[in-house]
Amino acid sequence: METVLKNVRDRYNVLHETHTHGVFITVSPNDVIGLLAYLKNVEGFTHLVLLTAVDWIEENQFQLTWLVNNPVLKQEMGIRAFIERSVWPEESVMDSAHHLWPAAKTYQRELHEMFGIDFPDSPEVNEPLILEYWDQLPPYRRDFDTKKYSEETYFPREGRYTRDPKTHMEAKLYAREGKKQ
């Protein structure tokens, strides 16, 4: 793994690196596809495990993570890139990796639907995957209020109430000892 990392560091501008839970390296979005191609074709990371996104709403960024795997040496590596978080209905744009792994197109379709991240030229990226014809803020964006949407749309049944787990369990378990603190 060290040699791989050294090779990567020599060739690309690595912005950040962490080794705590597996190896994750952060590069600029423009470098990602080149780095993925390098890892796939030269270093033997031939398997794309997943592609996913995180919405950092406070920093106004989307974090994209590609997990790649080297099935021969049993190594795994995560590539991260931060792209700008667009204001809906505008979409953030990232380069597609479907020419490296055809399966990437499904992840990209999902991200397009759930986060509103567009991958131009990725096959079928505009077609609905899970939600059929969703016409508002993509639901995985953190400013989407899923409870409010559900209440407005799906006829909630009255009589539902929520208990605070801490106080409820305290009252239940230590009823005889009286209230704690």
Q: Beta-strand (E) ranges in 22-163?
A: 23-26, 47-56, 61-70, 75-84, 92-93, 117-118
**How many chain residues interact with another protein (CB under 8 A)?**
21
Residue 144 binding another protein, by CB under 8 A: yes
Cβ atoms of residues 138 and 130 within 8 Å: no
* Amino acid residing at 173: L
Report how far residue 100's alpha carbon sits from residue 103's, in angstroms, rounded to the nearest whole number: 9
Instruction: Note whether 132 binds another protein by CB under 8 A.
Output: yes
Return the residue of 1, 42, 50, 130 that touches another protein, per CB under 8 A: 130
Indicate whether 161 belongs to the interface with another protein (CB under 8 A). no
Q: Which stretch binds another protein (CB under 8 A): 39-47, 75-83, 97-105, 147-155?
A: 147-155
Are the beta carbons of 23 and 1 closer than 8 angstroms?
yes
Q: Does the protein bind another protein through residue 89 (CB under 8 A)?
A: no
Considering beta carbons, is residue 154 or 172 the nearer one to another protein?
154
